[in-house]
């Protein structure tokens, strides 16, 4: 199905120019909205990622501590 804005009944250059301008405006507005959405989504993700990185580094430190103290244990953090 062809959207209404792409249907042309007559070849009016002025009408086609205004259609092109309208499409460019819609595209610009969509791009700006996408930028805002992307910025909104990256903020919480970066905070969550930082928290996960802190937890991961703490577990790595714990794993290193136990593997150096008890060489009989496996290299995993299981015990």
pLDDT at residue 65 is higher than 70: yes
Q: Are 45 and 27 in contact (CB under 8 A)?
A: no
DSSP state of 70: -
Q: What is the pTM of this model?
A: 0.41
* Percent of all residues in the chain with a pLDDT value above 90, rounded to a whole number: 19
Cα separation, 77 vs 69, in Å, equals 13
Letter string b/e over residues 11-29, b meaning 16 or more CB atoms within 10 A of that residue's CB: eeeeeeeeeeeeeeeeeee
DSSP state of 5: G
- Band of the pLDDT at 32, cuts 50, 70, 90? very high
pLDDT at residue 27 is higher than 80: yes
pLDDT at residue 28 is higher than 90: yes
């Amino acid at each position: 199905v062809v959207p209404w804005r792409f249907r042309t009944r007559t070849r009016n250059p002025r009408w086609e120019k205004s259609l092109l301008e309208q499409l460019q405006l819609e595209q610009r507005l969509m791009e700006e909205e996408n930028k805002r959405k992307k910025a909104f989504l990256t903020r919480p993700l970066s905070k969550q990622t930082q928290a996960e990185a802190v937890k991961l580094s703490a577990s790595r430190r714990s794993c290193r501590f136990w593997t150096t103290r008890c060489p009989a244990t496996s290299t995993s953090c299981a015990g």
